[in-house]
Chain A
Amino acid sequence: MSLKSNLHNLKEKYKGTKMAPAFNALHTFLYLPNEITHNGTHIKAADDLKRTMNTVIMAMVPCLIFGMFNAGYQHHLALGTIESAQGFLGASFWTWSNLVIGMWKVLPLVVVSYGVGLAIEFLFAVIKGHEVEEGYLVTGMLVPLIVPIDLPLWMLAVAVAFGVVIGKEVFGGTGMNILNPALTIRAFLFFAYPTWMSGDKVWVHGAVERAGTADAISGETILGSYAQSQEVVYSYADMFFGIIPGSIGETSKLLIILGALFLIFTKIGSWRIIVSTLIGALAMGLIFNGVVDAGWISSSSKFFGLMSVPFWQHLIIGSILFGAVFMATDPVTAAQTNKGKWIYGFLIGFISIMIRVFNPAYPEGVFLAILLMNVFAPTIDHYVVQGNVKKRLKRLKVKTA
C-alpha cells in the first residue's frame, strides 16, 4: 500500500466528519484525488487552481532568493564589511554570508506568513464546512516579499490574521474577496506600525537596532531620497538589477520581468493589465516631466524632487513593476473584461505615480493605488458590459430598421 492509497482510504473513512476539509486539503495538496466524475461530458485540463497558484509561486521564487542575497548584501555593505558589488554579477554580492543573513531574516517571515494564514484558512474551512481553498498559497508568498526585512514577526502575524479575516474570509473566502489580501496585510502594517514600514531605518537589516547609536546606519530607499530632494547614489543598472535597499522582493526589476514573462507565457498573468499599468505610470510621469519642463513648478517646491525624475525611471524605482506583475494581475480582484483590464491597469499606474509624487509621506503609493482600483474593478466591468450591450442593441436596430 502506498501513501497515496492509505490517505485515500483514510479520507473515505472520515468522510463527513468535522475535520474532513482540513484533511482533504492536505491530501489534494500532495496528490491528485482518486475521485472520478460519474456523468456528463467533462473537459480534462491540468490548469486547476492549484496549478495556477503554484505557477505564480514559481514566478516569485527568483525574487525571493534574490531578496535573501540582497538583504545580506545591504546589511554588510551598510556595516562597511564588504566592498560594493559593482554590478549584478559582482563578487561581493553572491556570497554565502549574504545568503545566510538573508535566510535567517527572510525564512521566518515566510514561515509566519504561511503558518498564520493557513491556520486561519483551515479554521474557517472546518467551521464553515467547506473545502480549504488554495488562495492563500500565493498570498502567503507575496506577503514576505513586500515587507521590510526587519519587521517584527508578531506584527506580521497580527497583520496576516487581520488581512485574511477582514480582507478575505468575511467576503466568503477565496474568489469572493474585493481587496487583494496581500495588499490588505501591507496596508494594515503600514497604517498600524508606520515606524516599521517607512523611513530610512527599516530597509536594511540591523538599522533599527543601531538607530541613535554611534554605529547608526541608514538605508534610505531611492524614493525616499527623491522625496527629500537628496542626491541618489545608485546607478540605473543597480536599480534595474535590484542591488538597492527596499522591500524584500521588489528590488530586482530583471527578475520581476522574467517572472512576468513566465506568467504571460503560461497565460496566468494578464499581459493587458501589466502593459496598461506601465503605460499609465509612464503617462503620469510624462505629465509631471512636462510640468517641470514648462517651468510651472520651482525647484524649491517639495514635489520638485520626484516630479523631475525622468518618466521612464519611475518604472525602475519603487515597487510599481512588482505591483503591476504580481498584485494588479490577481484574477479575483482585477477587472474581468478585456477592455476593463486596460482601464483598470492604466488607472493603477496613473494613480500610483500621482500618489508617489504628491504625497511624500507615502512614497510607495502603488499598494494604495491597487487597493483603490480593486474597489472600482466591478464598476469598470459593469460599464464595459453595459457599453457592449448598448452597442449591440444599436446594431440590431440598424439591421431591423
Chain B
Amino acid sequence: MGLLSKKDAKLITDPLADNNPITIQVLGICSALAITAELKASLVMGIAVLFVLGIGNVVISLMRNIIPSKIRIIVQLIVVASLVIIVDQVLKAYAYELSKTLSVFVGLIITNCIIMGRFEAFALGNGPWKAFLDGIGNALGYAVILLVVGFFRELLGSGTLFGIPVLGDPIEKTGLYSIGYENNGFMLMPPMALIIVGLIIWVQRSRNTSLIEH
C-alpha cells in the first residue's frame, strides 16, 4: 500500500460497498431519483458532489476547533453553499446545456443529506487528511450508485449511453430496433429509479446478509 494505511484505505472503500450512503444509509435519494435518467447528468452530479464533499470536509475539519458548537450548522451551510455556487457557476460557464438538465438539483446539493451528514459525523471529529479521504469515499459511493442507476435508465429508456446510440436508431429502425425492440418509457420516470435503487439494495443485502437489519 504505502500511500495509505489500512485504516485510511477503509475510509474510502467502506462507503463504496458495505456502508454506501445511498443503499445502506439511504441518504441523498432525491437527487439520485431526479437526475439519473441520463448517464452524463449522473456523472456530472457525482463529480460535483465529489468536489463539494472532498473540499468541504477538509475545510470543516480545519475549522473544527474554532467553530462554536451552537452555530456549527450555519457555518457548515455557508461552507457548502460557497462550494455549490462555485460548481454552479463553472457548470453554467462551461456546460450550459447540462446545467439546464440538472437545473435546481445543483443548488440542492446544499441540502443533500450525505454532505451535512459527513460534516456532522466525521469532519467535526477528525483531522483534515482523514476527513478528505472520508469525503472522497462517500462521494464516490454516491457517484457509483448514480452511475449504475443512470446506466440502466439511459440504456433501457433511451437506448443510448452518454448520449451515443448503442442499440441502433429507433426512428430508422436499425440495430435492435429492426427486430421490434422498443425503448422503455417507464425507465425515464423517477419511480423506475426508485425501483432500480431498491433492486441494488436487494442484490447487495442478499450477497452480504450481515447488512440486513432485524
Enumerate chain A interface residues (CB-CB to B < 8 A). Answer: 152, 154-155, 158, 166, 170, 188, 191-196
- In the complex, whether B180 has a CB less than 8 A from a CB of chain A is yes
Instruction: Pick the contact of B189: A155, A166, A191 (CB < 8 A).
Output: A191
- In the complex, whether B185 has a CB less than 8 A from a CB of chain A is yes
Which A residue sits closest to B180, measured CB to CB? A152
Inter-chain contact B195/A166, CB cutoff 8 Å: yes
User: Which A-B residue pairs are the 9 nearest by beta carbons?
Assistant: A192-B186, A191-B186, A192-B184, A192-B185, A152-B180, A194-B185, A193-B182, A166-B195, A191-B185
A152-B180, A154-B180, A170-B202 as given contacts; A193 in contact with B185, CB under 8 Å: yes
- In the complex, whether B131 has a CB less than 8 A from a CB of chain A is no
A279 CB to nearest B CB, Å? 31
B191 CB to nearest A CB, Å? 8
Q: How far is the CA of A193 from the CA of B185 in the complex (A)?
A: 6
- In the complex, whether B146 has a CB less than 8 A from a CB of chain A is no
B173 CB to nearest A CB, Å? 13
Kindly list chain A residues whose C-beta atoms are within 8 Å of the C-beta of B189: 191
23 contacts between A and B (CB under 8 A): A152-B180, A152-B182, A154-B180, A154-B181, A155-B182, A158-B184, A166-B195, A170-B198, A170-B202, A188-B186, A191-B185, A191-B186, A191-B189, A192-B184, A192-B185, A192-B186, A192-B187, A193-B182, A193-B184, A193-B185, A194-B185, A195-B182, A196-B182
Over the window 8-51 of chain B, the binary record of Cβ atoms lying under 8 Å from chain A Cβ atoms (1 yes, 0 no) is 00000000000000000000000000000000000000000000
Kindly list chain B residues whose C-beta atoms are within 8 Å of the C-beta of A152: 180, 182
B214 CB to nearest A CB, Å? 16
The A interface, classified by DSSP as helix, strand, loop or mixed, is: helix
Which A residue sits closest to B179, measured CB to CB? A154
Kindly list chain A residues whose C-beta atoms are within 8 Å of the C-beta of B181: 154
Which B residue sits closest to A195, measured CB to CB? B182
Q: Is the interface on chain B under 10, 10 to 19, 20 to 34, or 35 or more residues? A: 10 to 19
A211 CB to nearest B CB, Å? 14
Q: How far is the CA of A152 from the CA of B180 in the complex (A)?
A: 8
Kindly list chain B residues whose C-beta atoms are within 8 Å of the C-beta of A188: 186
Kindly list chain A residues whose C-beta atoms are within 8 Å of the C-beta of B202: 170
Kindly list chain B residues whose C-beta atoms are within 8 Å of the C-beta of A192: 184-187
B133 CB to nearest A CB, Å? 36
Over the window 146-165 of chain B, the binary record of Cβ atoms lying under 8 Å from chain A Cβ atoms (1 yes, 0 no) is 00000000000000000000
B104 CB to nearest A CB, Å? 24
Kindly list chain A residues whose C-beta atoms are within 8 Å of the C-beta of B182: 152, 155, 193, 195-196
Q: How far is the CA of A193 from the CA of B181 in the complex (A)?
A: 11
Q: How far is the CA of A193 from the CA of B180 in the complex (A)?
A: 12
Task: Tell me the chain B residues, 181-214 only, with Cβ under 8 Å from chain A.
Answer: 181-182, 184-187, 189, 195, 198, 202
Q: How far is the CA of A195 from the CA of B184 in the complex (A)?
A: 11
Q: How far is the CA of A155 from the CA of B180 in the complex (A)?
A: 10
Kindly list chain B residues whose C-beta atoms are within 8 Å of the C-beta of A158: 184
Name 20 extra pairs, CB < 8 A, besides A192-B187, A193-B184: A152-B180, A152-B182, A154-B180, A154-B181, A155-B182, A158-B184, A166-B195, A170-B198, A170-B202, A188-B186, A191-B185, A191-B186, A192-B184, A192-B185, A192-B186, A193-B182, A193-B185, A194-B185, A195-B182, A196-B182
Which B residue sits closest to A189, measured CB to CB? B186
Kindly list chain B residues whose C-beta atoms are within 8 Å of the C-beta of A170: 198, 202
Which A residue sits closest to B157, measured CB to CB? A192
B192 CB to nearest A CB, Å? 9
Q: How far is the CA of A158 from the CA of B156 in the complex (A)?
A: 12
Q: How far is the CA of A14 from the CA of B189 in the complex (A)?
A: 46
Kindly list chain B residues whose C-beta atoms are within 8 Å of the C-beta of A196: 182
Q: Which of B181, B186, B189, B202 has the most CB of A within 10 A?
A: B186
Q: How far is the CA of A152 from the CA of B182 in the complex (A)?
A: 10
Which A residue sits closest to B202, measured CB to CB? A170
Kindly list chain A residues whose C-beta atoms are within 8 Å of the C-beta of B180: 152, 154
